Structure 1
Amino acid sequence: MAYARHQSFYIRDRWFSKGLRAVKQNKRFFFDEFAFETIGLGKNMLESLKYWLLAFDVLEERTEEGQRVHVLSELGDILFDSDRLLQRNESLSILHYHLVRNKKDLSTVFDWYFNKYKETMVSKGDLFNSFSTWVSQNEMKEVSQNSLKRDIDCLIQFYTKVPDVNDPEDVLFCPFSKLSLMRSERSGERDDTIRKVTPEISTIGISSLYYVLLDYDRISEDRLISVDEIVNSDNLWGRVFNLTRNKVVEVLNSLTTHDKYPIEYIRTNNLDYVRVPAISSVDYIKGELLKG
């Protein structure tokens, strides 16, 4: 598990585009001593940007000819070609999913908050205490409380740092606030109240939800998955996007009429299942994003 690798910086507007373009031009960019000057960020910000690109699964580190380099993943290439400025909510939703999935074990606090933590409304202080308790129960080593606090602060800002409507040149907002997955409410002199929010389906995007479903590791060989699993399992719609069962069913109903890859409803042993087509999540989203 990993903590506070973001250097206390949530990802800012235009960072994603800058990072992808820099790696496209120079595989050794993030190993360059003066890369921060080239890209116009501070040294800690540059480390933060590298962290986010790795945690989003759009950047891969490998060794070529004895040197460490970075290359864009297949998903990174797709987003670079289709939406590197992250103007589409579908792109943000997919990257959010990769943070929550935490495949590279880089974004523990996101995995914990969306997959493990069940409370929908909590004070900021209690949120930190719950995370600290969970870490102490699941980590072999002691983790700095300051690191955990930075993770909680970053998590909240990641989804609540909205643009300043009075400043059209505001670049300090986080683009992921557009997903409306969390709200931070002032509570006078007490800690802010943090709420999980159920967004509108149109805010998340049906194509990104379909991507998440196709990317799920535990779909059976006959491509069946239960509706209950989609609602309640880690890394699926109910957990990742705070969706209710009614919202999940609404999306599934719409996917039965998908023009190219319709799903099929099946009822077995009094349980509702869907059968999904045998297409990879990357191949599917490539067609969806590049055609848009």
Structure 2
Amino acid sequence: MIPLRPDCYSFGRHETFPLRFGWLTKGYQAWLSTPGVFEDDDATVKLGVGKNMVSAIKYWLIATQMINCDRQSIMSSELGERIFSPNGWDPYLEDDATIWLLHWLISSNPAEATTPFWFFNRFHKPEFTMKELIDAQKYFVSEHLSAKVSEATLKHDLTLLVRMYQPTLNSKSVPSEEGLDSPVAMLGLMEMATGSKYHESKPEFRSVPVAIFAFSVAQVLVESGAPNLPIERLMRSDGVLAAPGSVFRLTEECLITKLEEMIAWYPGVFNLRESAGIHQLYLLKELEPISLLRRHYIGAH
């Protein structure tokens, strides 16, 4: 999990292409076989996409935390290896839980996916126009980042965010071919309202897989370094770390229900207590968050 830092941010690196079905699998497995694929002159041939799409595939692998990239090299993350290697847990996104996981990994990555992190953790207006989005993000950038980002760049990022998360049709179960381009559009987290307005949509809380929810909670607990956290901290971001309640668009009642489900699903690890009228979640023993995903995908502790 990655905290927000004023000097670490990313805008506009997606080449205006939202994440598409098949890109992570194609990009990760091409990189496994040819580590320099994204810089190769024939990358467009190897990946079967245009030049700008090559850069976009690389960017989305970084934004979803499937690979880590510095100036010298690209390295696999443990999650990338576990999920997208040829014998991985779900290399072809056949499990809806993986799509929820990718949404969490994008929205908890302020260094590489600053706009999704901001929108899902720090923007809380249920109905909004594009202008309201741009104005709010301009304020966030000026107040919290050491960046000078043009309004045009912010508009490109926000337009792409809306395209990526809004189903093309009202029916989320039968999206159009264009809607299928982005797996996260199927999560039902954003809808078109009236006229030029959009609104956030709260999915049925049961649709958020317990393992993915538990993984997100465990990441917050581990990153915070505290043995317990108030429910409010899991409900709303502190501005530095992502919050499961915000990212999954849960009400407080649904969050508590989900926590109770998590405790029953993985007993002996978490406990929910109320002290002086404040609900707190306790971590009872050391835990590697990825073990929760392992339990989901292969049933191992």
The TM-score normalised by the length of structure 1 is 0.87
Deviations 1:17-55 (A, max 9, x none): 101111121211112121111111111011011011111
Q: For the residues of structure 1 that align with 2:287 and 2:105, how far apart are their CA atoms?
A: 19
Query: In the superposition, relative to structure 1, how do residues 62 and 119 fare at CA in structure 2: closer, same or farther (>3 Å)?
Result: closer
After superposition, the CA RMSD in angstroms is 2.3
1:275 and 2:282 matched: yes
> Structure 1 residue 239: deviation in Å?
1.4
Contact 1:57 1:73 in 2 (8 A): yes
Per the alignment, in what secondary structure is the counterpart of residue 122 of structure 1? Answer: strand
Task: Name the residue aligned to 2:131.
Answer: 125
Corresponding pairs, count: 280
> Structure 1 residue 275: deviation in Å?
1.8
Q: For the residues of structure 2 that align with 1:176 and 1:193, how far apart are their CA atoms?
A: 20
Q: For the residues of structure 2 that align with 1:173 and 1:232, how far apart are their CA atoms?
A: 30
> Structure 1 residue 240: deviation in Å?
1.2
Task: Name the residue aligned to 1:215.
Answer: 219
* Residues 139-288 of structure 1: pairs in structure 2 closer than 5 A: 139-162=145-168, 165=174, 173-187=181-195, 192-216=196-220, 217-220=223-226, 223-234=227-238, 235-259=242-266, 261-276=268-283, 277-288=285-296
Q: For the residues of structure 1 that align with 2:265 and 2:180, how far apart are their CA atoms?
A: 38
Paired residue type of 1:55: A
Which structure 1 residue ranges, 4+ long, deviate > 3 Å from structure 2? 136-141, 161-167, 169-172, 259-262
1:135 to 122, 136, 141: 141
Paired residue type of 1:274: L
Q: For the residues of structure 1 that align with 2:267 and 2:273, how far apart are their CA atoms?
A: 19
Query: In the superposition, relative to structure 1, how do residues 229 and 137 fare at CA in structure 2: closer, same or farther (>3 Å)?
Result: closer
Per the alignment, in what secondary structure is the counterpart of residue 181 of structure 2? Answer: coil
> Structure 1 residue 284: deviation in Å?
2.2
> Structure 1 residue 61: deviation in Å?
2.6
Query: In the superposition, relative to structure 1, how do residues 271 and 139 fare at CA in structure 2: closer, same or farther (>3 Å)?
Result: closer
Query: In the superposition, relative to structure 1, how do residues 138 and 243 fare at CA in structure 2: closer, same or farther (>3 Å)?
Result: same
Query: In the superposition, relative to structure 1, how do residues 256 and 173 fare at CA in structure 2: closer, same or farther (>3 Å)?
Result: same
Per the alignment, in what secondary structure is the counterpart of residue 128 of structure 2? Answer: strand
* Residue identity (%): 22
2:65 to 53, 57, 62: 57
Greater shift, 124-133 or 150-159, is seen at 124-133
Q: For the residues of structure 2 that align with 1:15 and 1:7, how far apart are their CA atoms?
A: 14
Q: For the residues of structure 1 that align with 2:259 and 2:175, how far apart are their CA atoms?
A: 39
Paired residue type of 2:135: N
Per the alignment, in what secondary structure is the counterpart of residue 266 of structure 1? Answer: strand
Per the alignment, in what secondary structure is the counterpart of residue 202 of structure 2? Answer: coil
Query: In the superposition, relative to structure 1, how do residues 263 and 141 fare at CA in structure 2: closer, same or farther (>3 Å)?
Result: closer
Greater shift, 3-12 or 193-202, is seen at 193-202
> Structure 1 residue 58: deviation in Å?
0.8
Gaps in structure 2 of 5+ consecutive residues:
1-8
Task: Name the residue aligned to 2:33.
Answer: 25
Gaps in structure 1 of 5+ consecutive residues:
none
Query: In the superposition, relative to structure 1, how do residues 170 and 107 fare at CA in structure 2: closer, same or farther (>3 Å)?
Result: closer
Q: For the residues of structure 2 that align with 1:160 and 1:4, how far apart are their CA atoms?
A: 19
Q: For the residues of structure 2 that align with 1:196 and 1:240, how far apart are their CA atoms?
A: 11
Per the alignment, in what secondary structure is the counterpart of residue 4 of structure 1? Answer: coil
Paired residue type of 2:152: N
Q: For the residues of structure 2 that align with 1:133 and 1:259, how far apart are their CA atoms?
A: 41
Contact 2:67 2:76 in 1 (8 A): yes
Query: In the superposition, relative to structure 1, how do residues 162 and 208 fare at CA in structure 2: closer, same or farther (>3 Å)?
Result: farther
Deviations 1:206-250 (A, max 9, x none): 110000011111151xx2222222112341222111111110011
Contact 2:128 2:198 in 1 (8 A): yes
2:17 to 9, 30, 37: 9
The TM-score normalised by the length of structure 2 is 0.85
Query: In the superposition, relative to structure 1, how do residues 266 and 70 fare at CA in structure 2: closer, same or farther (>3 Å)?
Result: same
Query: In the superposition, relative to structure 1, how do residues 172 and 199 fare at CA in structure 2: closer, same or farther (>3 Å)?
Result: closer
Q: For the residues of structure 1 that align with 2:82 and 2:115, how far apart are their CA atoms?
A: 27
Contact 1:89 1:178 in 2 (8 A): no
Per the alignment, in what secondary structure is the counterpart of residue 56 of structure 2? Answer: helix
Q: For the residues of structure 2 that align with 1:171 and 1:18, how far apart are their CA atoms?
A: 19
Q: For the residues of structure 2 that align with 1:166 and 1:281, how far apart are their CA atoms?
A: 32
2:47 to 39, 42, 56: 39
